[in-house]
A and B are shown apart, each in its own frame.
Chain A
């Protein structure tokens, strides 16, 4: 991924900054400029909102055939997580045994390395999830 393309999203990926619709109060991640519920009424009323990073697993899978960049981690668990604020994200679930993963499992975001450009290149960081009870 080109450097500016990653750099543009650093705030969201490092700190979990999404947005809150001041019209209806709904919280979104990644941030949106328009609330799909309120549309025109939400224009210029979307405020930055930092997620706590806690949530629960909605569904999950264990990937055996990964993208080459994630080969070293294979097999790994991907999950869709619903945060306490109601936003949903897709992320890697680490430090968990697949046998223990189930919908409703409490998890928390953790800052981890996602990948790197080359040996001497840019390292990408971002959120992953790990079990709250660990």
Chain B
């Protein structure tokens, strides 16, 4: 980070990810361990080198009645002696955990840090899982009056349509593109293509958002191993550098924000990340952006500076965000089609970024990417985090 002095450069040397989906046969601890062990194996580590574990998890207390999940996962990973901490920031828990891991290594406090994310959402019914997601909105001034999580994003979509001319066709195109990418991702929950007609004809959830404008409820885990970049070459494979990060905040309730069609938290996070990395939005070749709803991706690609405000829908419709077009957005399939194990999402994004930068993304590989960006939103946008990555050399 050029702007912040005396920080060490930080590299990702290992990545691991579980299948994402309705995984009836796997518990939260199993998901966390599977991802973590895969990440250690990828880096060529045994486990006893790990000095610190961060776990991104949104709501194990409500979803499986289990708090204190970081030491639980450490214990069953066979490293009960390792200090571990859970990080929570709604659906940005994974991204925020990655930020804490980065800071631990950059500061010189720790050398080898594992950052994992895991969420077990299908041990409760779908309705209950959706209610738990909506608990990241303001319970006393939004949901008690009958607002659902879907409806808060639906109002952003309506506002965006009224103010920028965004259309339902453009929203649907986000889902079509992300499904096309997920079809090339073996870990995706929905690895199959869909059509605009199919998305648009789905039952309405909260107008203008239909069922296929929404990300699913998912189980899954993902993890990365971090180390000081100067030591990265001593581990297996080509390391990827976390060049910078930026975090942003905004009002908790959607109604408090003057421009409901813009996520200020994203803008603020991106501004800091770009400045610290000394790069511009035009320098980014691919991005994993938070697409819990189709509208969220359209707002994100504007608020991250890839397109002018109001142009996100049109750009999507013109194919500018498809794989290997102007900027490849959500090559993994995104939350929409790869899936949404909510507290793991930020780590799922990091895994995809590393695969892309190392040239290991298979059929969905971006041509020789320089910089990748990952963007994770908490709740309806009161918190957001952006990381910028590139190959370490």
Q: Which residues of A come within 8 Å of B, CB atoms?
A: 1, 5, 9, 30, 58-70, 73, 76, 78-81, 88-92, 98, 103, 114, 124, 126-128
Contact with A along B129-159 (1 / 0, CB 8 A): 0010010000011111111101110111111
> When A and B form their complex, which 7 residue pairs have the shortest distance between CB atoms, in order from nearest?
A61-B154, A88-B255, A59-B159, A62-B207, A80-B255, A59-B155, A61-B206
Flag whether B203 is at the interface (Cβ < 8 A): yes
Q: Which residues of B come within 8 Å of A, CB atoms?
A: 127, 131, 134, 140-148, 150-152, 154-159, 162, 203-209, 253-256, 260
Q: Which residues of B contact A63 (CB under 8 A)?
A: 146, 148, 150-151, 154, 205-206
Given contacts A80-B260, A90-B141, A114-B144, 4 further A-B contacts (CB under 8 A): A58-B260, A61-B151, A62-B206, A65-B205
Which among A70, A73, A89, A127 is the interface contact of B255 at CB below 8 angstroms? A89
Measured between C-beta atoms, what is the minimum distance from A73 to chain B in Å?
A: 8
Q: Which residues of B contact A70 (CB under 8 A)?
A: 146
Q: Which residues of A contact B145 (CB under 8 A)?
A: 78, 90-92, 114, 126-128
**CA–CA, A90 and B146, complex, Å:** 9
Q: Which residues of A contact B162 (CB under 8 A)?
A: 59, 103
A60 contacts B155, CB within 8 Å?
Answer: yes
A64 contacts B207, CB within 8 Å?
Answer: yes
Which among B131, B140, B158 is the interface contact of A60 at CB below 8 angstroms? B158
With A62-B206, A64-B205, A114-B145 already in contact, the answer to whether A78 and B159 are too (CB < 8 A) is no
Closest to A68 in B: B127
Measured between C-beta atoms, what is the minimum distance from B51 to chain A in Å?
A: 39
Measured between C-beta atoms, what is the minimum distance from A102 to chain B in Å?
A: 8
A-B pairs with beta carbons under 8 Å apart, 13 shown: A61-B151, A61-B155, A63-B206, A64-B204, A67-B131, A69-B146, A78-B206, A90-B147, A91-B145, A92-B145, A124-B144, A126-B144, A126-B145
Which among B131, B140, B203 is the interface contact of A64 at CB below 8 angstroms? B203
Q: Which residues of A contact B155 (CB under 8 A)?
A: 59-61, 78-80
Closest to A79 in B: B155
A1 contacts B144, CB within 8 Å?
Answer: yes
Q: Which residues of B contact A124 (CB under 8 A)?
A: 144
Q: Which residues of B contact A65 (CB under 8 A)?
A: 148, 150, 205-206
B142 contacts A90, CB within 8 Å?
Answer: yes
With A78-B155, A103-B162 already in contact, the answer to whether A9 and B140 are too (CB < 8 A) is yes
Q: Which residues of A contact B260 (CB under 8 A)?
A: 58-59, 80
Q: Which residues of B contact A103 (CB under 8 A)?
A: 159, 162
**CA–CA, A64 and B213, complex, Å:** 14
A61 contacts B158, CB within 8 Å?
Answer: yes
**CA–CA, A78 and B131, complex, Å:** 17
Q: Which residues of B contact A1 (CB under 8 A)?
A: 144
| Most chain A beta-carbon neighbours within 10 Å: one of B127, B131, B156, B162 | B162
With A80-B255, A89-B141, A90-B145 already in contact, the answer to whether A64 and B159 are too (CB < 8 A) is no
Closest to A126 in B: B145
Closest to A80 in B: B255
**CA–CA, A62 and B151, complex, Å:** 8
With A30-B140, A92-B145 already in contact, the answer to whether A61 and B127 are too (CB < 8 A) is no
Q: Which residues of A contact B209 (CB under 8 A)?
A: 61
**CA–CA, A1 and B255, complex, Å:** 22
B147 contacts A78, CB within 8 Å?
Answer: yes
**CA–CA, A70 and B131, complex, Å:** 13
Q: Which residues of A contact B255 (CB under 8 A)?
A: 58, 80-81, 88-90
A90 contacts B254, CB within 8 Å?
Answer: yes
Which among A67, A89, A98 is the interface contact of B148 at CB below 8 angstroms? A67
**CA–CA, A10 and B309, complex, Å:** 40
**CA–CA, A104 and B144, complex, Å:** 24
Closest to A61 in B: B154
Q: Which residues of A contact B208 (CB under 8 A)?
A: 61
